[in-house]
Structure 1
Amino acid sequence: MGQPPNDEEKRDDITIQVPTEGKVTGRLILAVLAAVSGSFLFGYNTGVINAPEEKIKAFLNSTNIDRDGEPLTVATQTNLFAIIVASFAIGGAVGGLAAGPWADKFGRKNGSLINTIFGIVSAALMFFSKMAESYEMLIVGRLLGGICCGLITGLTPIYLSEIAAQNIRGALGVLHQLGVVSGLLLSQILGFPEIMGTADLWHVLLGLSVIPSVLQLLIFPFCPESPRHLLISKNEEFNARKALTILRGYDNVEQDIQEMKIENEAQKSEAQVNIWKLLTSKSLRMALIISVVMHLSQQFGGITAIFYYSSTNFQDAGLDTNTAIHATSGVGAVMVVMTIVTIPLMDKVGRRTLHLAGLGGMFVSSILITVTLSLKHQVEWFNVATVVFSLVFVVFFALGPGSIPWLIVAELFSQGPRSAAISVSVLVNWVANFGVGYAFPHMKDGLGTFSFIPFTVLLLLFFIFLYIYLPETKNRTFEEITSLIRGEKKAENIHKDKNSTRENYLVSYQKTDINQ
């Protein structure tokens, strides 16, 4: 194998070796494919329940007639379907909260392999629920699918970031979100009445979620475990070197090993903070509040209502059933395109600017959606306008609120409290997802065309709070971000050299090594 490029910098008479640039090797591509299959499953399960809503409600009704001889009331059908939708989020909350300990105990790769059991059992239960005439199987299947996807939200981003060389880490990290929105789009397309969104095939549509899990089961055994997990968590330097050699495509991985050892030393120097200590710490309170509000702004902004119920929302706008289902695929298509568009913007424009722009655009769009829904009988073209404004709403969501809450928590916290903060944030996100998924059908029944008004109010409150308290984390060290959160002096006066926290630590570590 060839030798990697070797870049060096001079600073303060100390030679710092910059981590080597990684090549895109076949084994790396295989590992990425295995990991992103999980992301794809998450997106597929999020969107698959949308199009066949009426077919599933008919199944619920016919099942009850066969059991008790009486049809379900419309309210009971709505409530049962809301439970089916929301059970996915309940499972996601459980899986998301367990993702950190799960990844540490079983490993990133092996943890993902074990997780496929939940995915396969979930798909089987949903597929056979129609034959068994059991909507209970459908509920349990969605619950287990949520646990699987909750674990995926922790396992996949960790694995992708830890197998990538520094120069391609950002690009691989975005592939998780791209996998999610691609799965969402495919589930919407397959849900078309011409394909699988029928009374005969809706259970097959839900059962197809087995494919990503099977792909992971087939591919992951040929992929290496995360080198960082092997070296830092398991102290297996030989296996870490072997994994790096496979992923990088060259033998000399000493710079990567040295970087991991330095990271390990930095981690040892900082005490770990559990969830209870995080919740009771005054010094971390504002950062935690900002993190929680960021995740609430993602779910309580109304996007969950769009993802789960866009087909019925479009029908309320005046579209016929088939047209509404086709229009729903536009939601997934917009998410895919905008995810690709925002990749270069994230480090150029900044997290704060993109998130606030997204919330502001969603706020205006939600007002326009309410106006067009309310006046659709007076103005004929408002039917089409509702669909357009719904897609504009999705554009602004994808601009910032769709991805930034997942990224920024790690930037607001240092190594010690980071895992606990991510666990709390993921739990809040999934619980909020459940709340909106369950409540929105009832909000529609009670508020009618004004069902987006609560989201509009919340979006305004989120925007105001985050405009005041959310710091820009782009190109900031942890010390700078902490200072900004606490309202202390300007961050640029704290570290004028603008080095990252890791680079500062590399310098101090190597100085200590030389002195010894």
Structure 2
Amino acid sequence: MQSDNSRGLLRKNDPSQKMAGGVTGVLLYAVSAAVLGMLQFGFNTGVINAPRPFIENFISTQYDVNPGTIFSVIVSIFAVGGMIGCPFASWMLEKYGRKNALVVNSMIGVLGAIFMGFSKLANSVEMIIIGRFIIGVNCGFATTASPTYVSEVAPVRLRGAFGTVNQLAVAFGLVGAQILGIDMIMGSDEGWPWLLGLAIFPSAIQFVMIIFAPESPRYLLLVARDEETARAELAKIRGTNEIDDEINDMHVEDRAARQEEKFSILDLFKIKALRQPLIIGIVMHLSQQLGGINAVLYYSTTIFVNAGLTQENARLSSIGVGSMLFIMALVSIPLMDRLGRRTLQLVGLAGMALFSVLMTVAFFTYNDNTTMSIFAVIFTFLYVAFFGVGPSSIPWMLLSELFGQGARSAAVSVGALVNWFANFIVGLTFIPMSDAFGNYVFLPYTVLLVLFFIFTYLQLPETKNRTIEEVTALFKK
């Protein structure tokens, strides 16, 4: 029989055990707990879509106003919460740690879900608005906190792959919300409050899971300055005690970051070499939202009804919208480093512009023509597919690749704020635009998509296979 020491030595030198420094059960558990916040984001983006007529009926019983106006507020207040949640997350992550920040955010999500779920029982439209605002704070927080935690617990060589899990979680939450919103499940006058209230589950499950998840070793080592605990947590996550190289890499990165000059948000606008990449990043974020994608995600059921489908078929078709996003999230993973960011962004914007025109043609010519109604759905799916090719994820990646360590945090914060603000504008204005333009409602988005394509073609450099130093040098010339 082997002694404990000899068994320990064998484990230490076992190549298969070193591989445990890649994917381990603890790592998968930690990532699963974190991305529940992104699933929550996807769920609450899609959940408001199907129950619109029931919520508007509820609004009509409370107020003698145009229910569509208040429904626009219910939709768009979610993005206002997101604008608050992003900077709140940045502060919490640094002040109290990644794990504690995620615990607090899960409690915010539970509170928002309670407000929405009991709104009809309390005969209060205000509770829906408050709940949507709170859940928006939760989701804005998650879009900052979840990717940060995931990137810090994942091994460097797997960081990109685990990063895509965030996008998959968003798409999965979106599809789940649309499936639950069909007539035979919760798409009814009795079921819609509970449909909104289901948001309690991702947050409640995350609350329980994150308590038992490890803290980010990077936070413990570089922010909390607790190397002993950082080593213990990293060994647990990697499944091996051979972590010296990774700890040393963190120290090297930290020393380099400390030597690099720090830039504030104001500096980004004042310094020419930083202002140009910032403008590019801002326009990329605007192209993601002002291309009209959230008009589809928030209102696809309404769009399909206007194209001649029945309410039931429109809700079923909306499931295809979320499913297409999920599929494209998987497809775009291998394309990202093969074709490059610039190419995929241009292809995505061009495809969205083309199919937004074809959607308009189909909406305008259907006139109870079943064939054109079907084409309207197909063109909408393809519009969403091209969004998934590039504009879905590339704007979030670019700011990290256009800026050095000293300016990256400020640039990403500006990008997130712009993204949520544009999201708010689309959510608030789509119904008034639909009333004003009718079947031509997507043409303003088409014009913007063409302008974004031209700007991208002229201004966006390719960042594939280029170091941060090489990219930033382009803007200093």
The match for 1:42 is: 41
Question: 2 CA distance for matches of 1:312 and 1:296?
Answer: 24
Find the counterpart in structure 1 of residue 52 from structure 2.
53
Give 2:3's aligned residue: none
State whether residues 89 and 101 of structure 2, in contact with CA within 8 Å, keep that contact through their aligned partners in structure 1. no
Contact 2:273 2:475 in 1 (8 A): no
Contact 1:5 1:21 in 2 (8 A): no
Matched residue of 1:312: which SS? helix
Q: Which blocks of at least 5 consecutive residues in structure 2 are unaligned?
A: 1-7
Q: Give CA-to-partner distance per residue, 1:181-238, whole Å, 9 cap, x none.
A: 0000000000001000110010000001010111111111111111111111111111
CA contact (8 A) 1:100 1:419 kept: no
CA distance in 1: counterparts of 2:351 and 2:290, whole angstroms: 15
1:93 counterpart letter in structure 2? M
1:333 is aligned to 323
Q: For 1:5 and 1:457, locate their aligned partners in 2 and report how far apart those are by CA, in whole Å.
A: 60
1:317 aligned partner = 307
Q: 2: CA distance between counterparts of 1:144 and 1:272?
A: 33
Change (3 A) 1:277 1:4: farther
Letter in 1 for 2:362: T
User: How far apart are residue 279 of structure 1 and its match?
Assistant: 2.3
Instruction: Identify the residue that residue 381 of structure 1 maps to in structure 2.
Output: 371
The residue aligned with 2:242 is 252
Alignment check: 8 A CA contact 2:180 2:195 kept: yes
Q: Distance in 2 between matches of 1:20 and 1:264?
A: 26
Q: 1:4, 1:252 within 8 Å by CA — same for their partners in 2?
A: no
Structure 1 residue 275: Cα displacement: 1.4
**Does structure 1 residue 24 correspond to structure 2 residue 14?**
no
Match of 1:283, SS state, is helix
Aligned to 1:203: 193
The two structures have a TM-score, normalised by structure 2, of: 0.95
Matched, 1:141 2:140: no
Match of 2:226 in 1: 236
Taking a change above 3 Å as real, the CA distance of residues 226 and 4 of structure 1, as seen in their structure-2 partners, is farther
Q: Describe the SS at the equivalent of 2:121.
A: helix
1:356 Cα shift?
A: 0.7
State the alpha-carbon separation in 2 of the partners of residues 332 and 384 from structure 1.
17
1:355-394 mapped onto 2 (5 Å cutoff): 355-377=345-367, 380-394=370-384
Q: Compute the displacement of 1:342 (Å).
A: 1.0
Deviation at 1:104, TM superposition (A): 1.0
Q: Given that residues 470 and 485 in structure 1 are in contact (C-alpha distance below 8 angstroms), is that contact kept between their aligned partners in structure 2?
A: no
Mapped pair 1:351 → 2:341: yes
Contact 1:22 1:166 in 2 (8 A): no
CA distance in 1, matches of 2:351, 2:402: 25
Alignment match of 1:403 (pick from 393, 402, 405)? 393
Q: Which residue of 2 aligns with 1:163?
A: 153
Alignment partners' CA distance in 2, 1:20 and 1:255 = 14
Shift of 1:274: 1.6
Higher mean displacement: 91-100 or 351-360: 91-100
Q: Please state how far the C-alpha of 1:253 moved relative to its aligned partner.
A: 0.6
Which residue in the other structure is 1:96 paired with?
Answer: 86
1:452 aligns with 2:442: yes
What amino acid is the match of 2:431? P
The structural deviation recorded for 1:26 is: 1.3
**Partner-residue secondary structure (3-state), 2:120:** helix
Contact 1:372 1:382 in 2 (8 A): yes
Gaps of 5+ in 1: 7-18, 65-71, 489-516
Is residue 421 of structure 2 the alignment partner of residue 431 of structure 1? yes
Contact 2:109 2:203 (8 Å CA) reproduced: yes
Alignment partner of 1:475 is 2:474: no
Greater helix fraction, Structure 1 or Structure 2? 2
Partner of 2:351, secondary structure, is helix
- Please list the CA deviations of residues 108-145 of structure 1 after superposition, one character each: whole Å capped at 9, or x if unmatched: 11111111121011000001110110000100100000
Q: Give 1:20 deviation, angstroms.
A: 8.2
1:7-37 CA distances to partner (integer Å, 9 max, x unpaired)?
xxxxxxxxxxxx9883321111110110111
Q: Give the aligned partner of residue 63 of structure 1.
A: 62
Matching residue of 1:268: 258
Which residue in 2 is equivalent to 1:277? 267
Aligned-pair distance for 1:97? 2.8
Q: Which amino acid aligns with 2:229?
A: N
Change over 3 Å in CA distance of 1:323–1:373 after alignment to 2: same
| Partner AA of 2:70 in structure 1 | L
Give the superposition deviation at 1:378.
8.2
Shift of residue 5 of structure 1?
A: 8.3
**Residue 297 to residue 101, structure 1, CA distance change in 2 (3 Å):** same
Contact 1:279 1:285 in 2 (8 A): yes
For 1:5 and 1:148, locate their aligned partners in 2 and report how far apart those are by CA, in whole Å.
43
Q: TM-score, normalised by structure 1?
A: 0.88
Give 1:485 deviation, angstroms: 4.0
Quote the RMSD (CA, aligned, Å): 1.5
CA contact (8 A) 1:42 1:183 kept: yes
Instruction: Provide the rounded CA distance (Å) in 2 between the counterparts of 1:122 and 1:201.
Output: 18
Q: Deviations over 1:348-371 (max 9, x none)?
A: 111111111000000100010111
Alignment check: 8 A CA contact 1:347 1:474 kept: yes
The amino acid of 2:357's aligned partner reads: I
Q: What amino acid sits opposite 2:439 in the alignment? A: T
Measured in 2, the distance between the counterparts of 1:483 and 1:281 equals 14
Cα separation, 1, equivalents of 2:437 and 2:165: 38
Q: Which amino acid aligns with 2:187?
A: G
Distance 1:152 1:340 in 2: 21
Q: Secondary structure at the match of 1:132?
A: coil
Would you say the 8 A contact 2:404–2:472 is kept in 1? no
Paired letter, 1:98: F
Contact 1:471 1:485 survives alignment (8 Å) = no
The one-letter amino acid paired with 1:39 is: M
With over 3 angstroms needed to count, the CA separation of the structure-2 counterparts of 1:331 and 1:139, relative to structure 1, is same
Q: Is the 8 A contact 2:107 2:207 kept in 1?
A: no
